[in-house]
């Protein structure tokens, strides 16, 4: 009987904490105090962290990047007012889930580009146009971005892409067709390309 009461108390406590957090989310958002909302989504390549500002999705991170480190970096780069707020990211989470289910070939999300500037941003904006299941080489991307000799800079832009998957840097390969690098790891890059090729 004591175990049952303890379990009910813990369950009631968890429900109360959930309601309290939901109220905090709502109050912070309505008072303009929620600058960066985040949530996680489970996917075939592991958990992903999604973070958004009022402007749009600002960060997508792989678990191997350490979510706490990513959130600290967002607090430094965007605002310290960061809060778990799953409801603000429902649409982004749904689109990510649809992508992994093979039901979505293109993301339709507002993006906040503030974490990428200059040539890196030019490269990333080009990547959005690489179609599902298609690939380009680093050399092709450099030429398309207006700097044909900036192949290494393209690699750096891909390696520091704050919005992988949504901004598909996994579709960029070396000229010889080998994978190159990937923030989510080569197994993840291989899995994403394989999933798209099979569709």
CB contact set of 178 (below 8 Å; sequence gap of 6+): none
CB contact set of 182 (below 8 Å; sequence gap of 6+): 158, 164, 169, 170, 188, 189
Q: Is 105 a catalytic residue?
A: no
* Token duo for residue 1: 């009987």
* Given 60, 150, 167, 169, the catalytic residue: 169
Give 52's strand partners. 37, 57
Tell me the H-state helices in 46-147: 67-77, 90-100, 118-127, 138-144
Give 57's strand partners. 52, 111
Ordered DSSP codes for 3-34: HHHHHHHHHHHHHHHHHHHHHHHHHHHHTT--
Using alpha carbons, list the distances in angstroms from residue 196 to 104, 133, 178, 189.
10, 5, 17, 11
Question: Hunting for tokens 């080569």 — which residue is that?
Answer: 186
User: Which residues belong to the active site?
Assistant: 169
């Amino acid at each position: 009987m004591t175990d049952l009461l303890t379990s009910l108390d813990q369950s009631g406590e968890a429900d109360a904490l959930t309601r309290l957090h939901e109220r905090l989310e709502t109050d912070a958002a309505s008072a303009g105090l929620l600058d960066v909302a985040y949530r996680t989504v489970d996917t075939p390549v592991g958990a992903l962290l999604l973070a958004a500002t009022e402007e749009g999705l600002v960060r997508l991170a792989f678990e191997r990047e350490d979510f706490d480190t990513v959130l600290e970096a967002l607090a430094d780069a965007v605002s310290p007012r960061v809060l778990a707020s799953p409801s603000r990211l429902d649409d982004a989470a749904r689109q990510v889930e649809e992508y992994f289910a093979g039901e979505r070939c293109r993301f339709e999300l507002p993006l906040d580009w503030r974490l990428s500037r200059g040539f890196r941003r030019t490269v990333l904006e080009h990547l959005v146009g690489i179609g599902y299941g298609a690939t380009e080489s680093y050399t092709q991307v450099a030429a398309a971005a207006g700097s044909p000799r900036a192949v290494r800079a393209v690699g750096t832009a891909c390696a520091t892409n704050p919005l992988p998957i949504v901004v598909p840097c996994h579709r960029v390969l070396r000229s010889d067709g080998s994978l190159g690098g990937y923030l989510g790891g080569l197994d993840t890059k291989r899995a994403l390309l394989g999933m798209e090729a099979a569709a």
